């Protein structure tokens, strides 16, 4: 099972390593991690995607809440929140394949940000599903380099009180 | 993530009536300790600490003790905290002074003991440069402290120290480390404090949820065969009177963990003694038969449960703990209650009606008579460690607070000493640190001068920390070492005996010190005994001789601790008694040959 944690922490030195260290120490796997400032300068948001058994994932949240610099931990399910990830990928693109690749990129709403004789570099963003499908689509051409930001996430505002997420 | 430079000041509350006044960092440390009610500081100096040390010379409110090894300073702080319930404090220098604390801090973390460790650090401008005696102690202790701080400005110092003590003693207690760079101690800063510590993001739940408390009371009423399982958390929370009340009102037998010993009188008719790997057979069998297990401040540690999937399988589980992460970590709880053990039980007790459970009581009684906790002591055989402990218990009883080292002697002490009050048994449970008991006993002696501090020690463990006799002598601290000397690392030898076909590799001491001469060399006293008849007179001599004393009791190295649930095994796999066919010959290799 994968779980997205949105963690608000005090913006103190060493907090990121403390949070990441907790995952290592307890033997949980981090799939991605992204951190950055929030609207309040004293608070940082860390978004972590982790893999584990269901009871393990709840245990992580409890352990995180115990860290003194951690203010809030939300376990986010996909339909409760916007989640986005940014991907930069360099695709092997010989002249003969180039227009096909660009067409495919357009279909995904990806931008071409660099081009050489035999490569095309794309910028794309989307939710987990879109990023995966996109990467799958380009896999056949050969991805020579890739960088991903890891997931960031914000809960949807204005959800009705009685709204229940579809599991 | 952005590096915050003035983190503390950002969270500071509005200034109180106190007029801001600039004083030196060292002065702030001293005043803060005074304010927290600290009586003793266990420390070892270094150049970085000069300004702080100087204040101990000029003032007398707080006594600084010069400890011979920093690890022991941490254990003494632990011993002090475990015996008094107050925060223990140590102070060491940077680099090696700080790293030497690590075992002690880990020990405190594993057993949830409130201590605050202050370490010197190189000047902030040098931090990160591999400066002389620099160690990243904050990085190193991140996973073994409840929280830790590198103080970056003298202005932050007072508030940081206040928070450190608050975090150490509240919620599930634990160690906190405060790293003090040289310039922070030398510089001047504000001594300014909020009236009340209010930490965003840190609010331990102490009151149990009323609905859950209701469910606990209902489950107890419905249960036919309930069992209370009491851990160290019950002692931290001072929950013992409520446990006795609950047990007696609803007629519930009680078993305790190593750290829970003392939370319920060992000799109470409802007491089953300790459970777990070396628990009593009847306590362990009771866990298999009970239909309701009420865990209070215990964490289903593997030394307690054995194979956890086969632990207490017939029972509904109630789990009362102040730490939400302890609940459901190892064993799923049917009725979880997050809260302070005492506060929760006070509420539960309001709902409990008197109940009688004659059948269950009878069953427990039968288990007790069928599988008693015993040992053999043949005429003419060497002293059995168990009989030495029984004698000690009978001679000193509730006049003493017992600490232990780690090994066979520790298990026998937990099994055979008759504990009557909480904080009477002080032992390293979670980490199992050899060398814990002697320094801890020094801390105990300071915390409880009305009691006798006795370390029931193993010879292997004692050799790790015996330099602290010097500390005990220097400050005239009357600690007693009841040394169960089998001239071997008995507990490891036991595993080799049972699981390695008696191939004893690297456990026997072919050379041991003469412990009586050792005591004398340090200016303490000692006596060695070999005969059973000498046990009681020697104990009397030990308690009547002023000052530190080592009683070297030469015991049978072939004695094994039973019952035993083999590691990873289920409770039903418990070996109840010594069934070794071989006739074992006791050897007295512990005697020095002078
Ligand atoms: C610091 C440390 N090192 C090693 C161990 C592993 N260990 C556990 S018990 C034990 C033997 C302890 O010997 P002793 O203190 O003589 O006690 P005995 O078992 O003989 O009573 C050892 C080596 C430990 N618990 N702690
Ligand atoms: Mg030994």
Residues 6+ apart with CB under 8 A from B588: B382, B530, B554
* Contact between chains at A65 and B324 (C-beta distance less than 8 A): yes
pLDDT tier at B583 (50, 70, 90 boundaries)?
very low
Secondary structure of chain B: what % helix, strand, coil (to 5)? 40, 15, 45
Reported ipTM exceeds the 0.90 cut: no
CB-CB neighbours of A32 under 10 Å: 17
Of the given ranges (A117-121, B200-204, B208-212, B341-345), which has the lowest mean pLDDT?
B200-204
Which of A16, A42, A59 shows the shortest C-beta gap to B10?
Answer: A42
pLDDT at B411 over 60: yes
Element spanning B459, H or E: helix B459-465
The residues in A 21-50 lying below 8 A from B, measured between CB atoms, are: 21-22, 25, 35-37, 42, 44, 46
Cβ atoms of residues A19 and A47 within 8 Å: no
pLDDT tier at B347 (50, 70, 90 boundaries)?
very high
Nearest CA in chain A to B144: A25
User: What residue segments make up the domains of chain B, in order of their start?
Assistant: 23-189, 210-370, 385-562
- Ligand 1 atom closest to residue B484's alpha carbon, by position in its atom list: 21
Segment A139-167, tens digit of pLDDT: 999 999 999 998 898 888 777 767 666 65
Q: What is the pLDDT, as a whole number, of residue B16?
A: 52
Tell whether B7 lies on the interface with A, counting CB pairs under 8 A. yes
Segment A18-73, tens digit of pLDDT: 899 888 878 788 989 999 989 999 999 999 999 888 888 888 999 999 888 999 99
Burial of B313 (0-12, 13-18, 19+ CB in 10 A): exposed
The rounded percent of chain B whose pLDDT value lies above 90 is 89
From the CA of B429, the nearest ligand is 1
Q: What is the pLDDT, as a whole number, of residue B590?
A: 37
* Whole-number Å distance between alpha carbons of B220 and B354: 11
Residue B411: active-site member: no
Q: What is the pLDDT, as a whole number, of residue A78?
A: 65
Q: What is the pLDDT, as a whole number, of residue B4?
A: 39
Segment B83-109, tens digit of pLDDT: 999 999 999 999 999 999 999 999 999
Residues 6+ apart with CB under 8 A from B395: B536, B539, B540, B543
The strand pair at B335-338 and B400-404 is best described as unpaired
CA proximity to B140, closest of A35, A14, A122: A14
CB-CB neighbours of A114 under 10 Å: 11
- Distance from the CA of B551 to the center of ligand 2, in angstroms? 14
Tell me which fold the domain B385-562 belongs to.
Rossmann fold (3.40.50)
- Which residue in the list B8, B182, B331, B451 is annotated as catalytic? B182
Cβ atoms of residues B246 and B362 within 8 Å: no
Pick the CATH number of B23-189 from 3.40.47.10, 3.40.50.970, 3.30.160.340, 3.60.15.10: 3.40.50.970
* Whole-number Å distance between alpha carbons of B99 and B428: 20
Q: What is the pLDDT, as a whole number, of residue B13?
A: 47
* Whole-number Å distance between alpha carbons of B332 and A80: 28
pLDDT tier at B256 (50, 70, 90 boundaries)?
very high
- Which residue in the list B274, B277, B411, B491 is annotated as catalytic? B491
Element spanning B426, H or E: strand B425-426
Which of B146, B201, B328 shows the shortest C-beta gap to A55?
Answer: B328
* Whole-number Å distance between alpha carbons of B427 and B86: 17
Residue B165: active-site member: no
Cβ atoms of residues B525 and B547 within 8 Å: yes
Of the given ranges (B12-16, B348-352, B384-388), which has the lowest mean pLDDT?
B12-16
pLDDT tier at B369 (50, 70, 90 boundaries)?
very high
- Distance from the CA of B569 to the center of ligand 2, in angstroms? 25
Q: What is the pLDDT, as a whole number, of residue B19?
A: 60
pLDDT at B254 over 50: yes
* Whole-number Å distance between alpha carbons of A35 and A38: 10
pLDDT at B533 over 80: yes
pLDDT at B111 over 60: yes
pLDDT at B15 over 70: no
Nearest CA in chain B to A45: B1
Per-residue DSSP letter, A80? G
Tell whether B316 lies on the interface with A, counting CB pairs under 8 A. no
Element spanning B492, H or E: helix B490-499
Residues 6+ apart with CB under 8 A from B385: B408, B409, B412, B484, B486, B553, B555, B556, B559
The neighbourhood of ligand 2, an ion, using CB within 5 A, equals B 458-460, 486, 490
The upper half-sphere exposure of residue A1, i.e. CA atoms within 13 Å in the direction of its Cβ, equals 15
Cβ atoms of residues A122 and A91 within 8 Å: yes
Q: What is the pLDDT, as a whole number, of residue B18?
A: 54
Counted across chains A and B, CB pairs separated by less than 8 A come out at 62
pLDDT tier at A76 (50, 70, 90 boundaries)?
confident
Burial of B29 (0-12, 13-18, 19+ CB in 10 A): buried
Let me know the angle formed at the C-alpha of B109 by B104 and B112, rounded to the nearest 5 degrees. 120
pTM score: 0.89
Q: What is the pLDDT, as a whole number, of residue B193?
A: 87
Q: Listing from the earlier edge strand, what are the strands of the sheet with B425-426?
A: B425-426, B400-404, B452-458, B480-485, B549-554, B525-529
DSSP string, B281-336: HHHHHHHHH-SEEEEES----HHHHSSGGGSSTT-EEEEEES-GGGTTSSS--SEE
Burial of A127 (0-12, 13-18, 19+ CB in 10 A): middle
The strand pair at B40-44 and B63-66 is best described as parallel
From chain B, the residues in CB contact with A59 under 8 A are: 325, 328-329
Spell out where chain A has E strands: 2-10, 29-37, 43-51, 70-76, 81-92, 111-115, 119-126, 143-148, 152-155
Residue B388 near ligand 1, beta carbon < 6 Å:
no
The rounded percent of chain B whose pLDDT value lies above 70 is 94
- Which residue in the list B133, B214, B467, B474 is annotated as catalytic? B133
Residues 6+ apart with CB under 8 A from B472: B442, B478, B479, B524, B547, B548
* Whole-number Å distance between alpha carbons of A153 and A85: 9
Mutation to test the B interface, candidates A38, A68, A74, A150, most B Cβ within 10 Å = A68
Q: What is the pLDDT, as a whole number, of residue B198?
A: 83
Q: How far does A68 lie from chain B, in Å, by closest CA? A: 6
* Whole-number Å distance between alpha carbons of B300 and A109: 53
pLDDT tier at B368 (50, 70, 90 boundaries)?
very high
* Contact between chains at B11 and A69 (C-beta distance less than 8 A): no
* Whole-number Å distance between alpha carbons of B85 and B79: 10
Mean pLDDT over the full length of chain B? 93
Quick check: do B23-189 and B385-562 share a fold? yes
CA proximity to B261, closest of B403, B419, B402: B419
State whether residue B432 is helix, strand or coil: coil
Which of A36, A58, A68 shows the shortest C-beta gap to B202?
Answer: A68
* Contact between chains at B328 and A21 (C-beta distance less than 8 A): no
Domain B210-370: give its CATH code: 3.40.50.1220
Cβ atoms of residues B91 and B18 within 8 Å: no
The upper half-sphere exposure of residue B151, i.e. CA atoms within 13 Å in the direction of its Cβ, equals 33
Partners of B488 in beta bridges: B508
Q: What is the pLDDT, as a whole number, of residue B588?
A: 38
Q: Domains (ranges, CATH) in chain A? A: 2-76 (3.30.70.260), 82-152 (3.30.70.1150)
CA proximity to B414, closest of B563, B543, B288, B556: B563
SS3 track for A89-131? EEEECCHHHHHHHHHHHHHCCCEEEEECCCEEEEEEEECHHHH
Segment B133-178, tens digit of pLDDT: 999 999 999 999 999 999 999 999 999 999 999 999 999 999 999 9
* Helical residues (DSSP H) of B187-229, grouped into ranges: 210-222
Which of A12, A17, A65 shows the shortest C-beta gap to B4?
Answer: A12
From chain B, the residues in CB contact with A11 under 8 A are: 1-2, 4, 7
Tell whether B9 lies on the interface with A, counting CB pairs under 8 A. no
Q: Give me B2's structure tokens.
A: 């952005």
* Whole-number Å distance between alpha carbons of B92 and B42: 8
Q: What is the pLDDT, as a whole number, of residue B417?
A: 98
* Contact between chains at B1 and A44 (C-beta distance less than 8 A): yes
* Contact between chains at A25 and B11 (C-beta distance less than 8 A): no
Residues 6+ apart with CB under 8 A from B458: B405, B406, B407, B408, B409, B410, B434, B483, B484, B486, B489, B490, B491
Per-residue pLDDT, averaged over B354-370, amounts to: 95
* Whole-number Å distance between alpha carbons of B277 and B564: 5
The strand pair at A43-51 and A2-10 is best described as antiparallel
State whether residue B257 is helix, strand or coil: coil
């Amino acid at each position: 099972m994968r779980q997205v944690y949105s963690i608000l922490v005090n913006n103190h030195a060493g907090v990121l390593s403390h949070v990441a260290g907790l995952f290592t120490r307890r033997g949980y796997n981090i799939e991605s991690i992204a951190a950055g400032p929030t609207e309040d300068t004293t608070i940082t948001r860390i978004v972590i995607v982790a893999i584990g058994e269901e009871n393990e994932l709840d245990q992580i949240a409890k352990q995180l809440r115990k860290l003194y610099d951690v203010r809030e931990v939300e376990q986010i399910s996909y339909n409760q929140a916007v989640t986005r990830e940014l991907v930069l990928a360099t695709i092997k693109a010989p002249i003969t394949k180039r227009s096909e690749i660009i067409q495919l990129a357009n279909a995904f709403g990806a931008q071409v940000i660099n081009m050489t004789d035999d490569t095309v570099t794309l910028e794309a963003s989307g939710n987990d599903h879109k990023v995966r499908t996109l990467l799958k689509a380009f896999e056949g051409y050969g991805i020579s380099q890739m960088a991903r930001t890891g997931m960031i996430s914000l809960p949807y505002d204005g959800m009705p009180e009685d709204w229940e997420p579809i599991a | 993530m952005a590096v915050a430079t003035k983190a503390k000041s950002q969270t500071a509350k509005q200034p109180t009536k106190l007029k801001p006044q600039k004083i030196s960092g060292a002065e702030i440390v001293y005043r803060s300790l005074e304010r927290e009610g600290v009586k003793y500081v266990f420390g070892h100096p270094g150049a970085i600490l000069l300004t702080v040390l100087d204040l101990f010379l000029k003032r007398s409110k707080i006594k600084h003790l010069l400890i011979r090894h920093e690890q022991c300073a941490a254990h003494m702080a632990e011993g002090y905290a475990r015996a008094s319930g107050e925060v223990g404090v140590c102070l060491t220098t940077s680099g090696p002074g700080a790293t030497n604390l690590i075992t002690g801090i880990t020990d405190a973390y594993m057993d949830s003991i409130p201590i605050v460790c202050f370490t010197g650090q190189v000047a902030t401008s040098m931090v990160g440069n591999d400066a002389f005696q620099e160690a990243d102690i904050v990085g190193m202790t991140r996973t073994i402290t409840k929280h830790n701080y590198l103080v970056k400005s003298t202005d932050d110092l007072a508030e940081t120290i206040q928070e450190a003590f608050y975090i150490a003693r509240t919620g599930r207690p634990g160690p906190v480390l405060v790293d003090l760079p040289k310039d922070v101690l030398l510089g001047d800063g504000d001594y300014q404090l909020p009236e009340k510590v209010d930490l965003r993001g840190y609010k331990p739940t102490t009151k149990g949820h009323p609905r859950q408390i209701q469910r606990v009371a209902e489950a107890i009423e419905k249960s036919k065969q309930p069992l209370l399982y009491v851990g160290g958390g019950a002692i931290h929370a001072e929950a013992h009177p409520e446990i006795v009340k609950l047990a007696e009102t609803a007629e519930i037998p009680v078993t305790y963990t190593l750290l829970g010993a003392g939370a319920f009188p060992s000799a109470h008719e409802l007491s089953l003694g300790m459970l777990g790997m070396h628990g009593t057979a009847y306590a362990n069998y009771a866990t298999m038969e009970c239909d309701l297990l009420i865990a209070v401040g215990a964490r289903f540690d593997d030394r307690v449960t054995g194979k956890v999937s086969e632990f207490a399988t017939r029972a509904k589980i109630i789990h009362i703990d102040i730490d939400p992460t302890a609940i459901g970590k190892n064993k799923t709880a049917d009725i979880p209650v997050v809260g302070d053990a005492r506060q929760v039980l006070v509420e539960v007790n309001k709902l409990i009606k008197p109940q009688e459970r004659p059948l269950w009581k009878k069953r427990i009684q039968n288990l007790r008579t069928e599988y008693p906790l015993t040992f053999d002591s043949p005429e003419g055989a060497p002293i059995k460690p168990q009989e030495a402990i029984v004698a000690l218990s009978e001679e000193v009883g509730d006049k003493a607070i017992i600490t232990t080292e780690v090994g066979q002697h520790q298990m026998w002490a937990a099994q055979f000493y008759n504990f009557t009050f909480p904080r009477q048994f002080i032992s390293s449970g979670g980490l199992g640190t050899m060398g814990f008991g002697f320094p801890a006993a020094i801390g105990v002696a300071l915390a409880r001068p009305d009691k006798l501090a006795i370390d029931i020690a193993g010879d292997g463990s004692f050799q790790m920390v015996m330099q602290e006799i010097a500390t005990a002598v220097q400050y005239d601290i009357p600690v007693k070492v009841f040394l169960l000397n089998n001239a071997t690392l008995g507990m490891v030898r036991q595993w080799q005996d049972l699981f390695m076909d008696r191939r004893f590799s690297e456990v026997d001491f072919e050379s041991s010190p003469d412990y009586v001469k050792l005591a004398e060399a340090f200016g303490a006293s000692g006596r060695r005994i070999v005969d059973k008849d000498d046990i009681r007179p020697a104990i009397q001599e030990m308690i009547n001789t002023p000052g530190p004393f080592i009683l070297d009791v030469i015991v049978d190295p072939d004695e094994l601790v039973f019952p035993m649930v083999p590691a990873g095994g289920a409770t039903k796999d418990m070996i109840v008694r010594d069934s070794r066919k071989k006739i074992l010959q006791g050897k007295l290799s512990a005697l020095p040959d002078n």
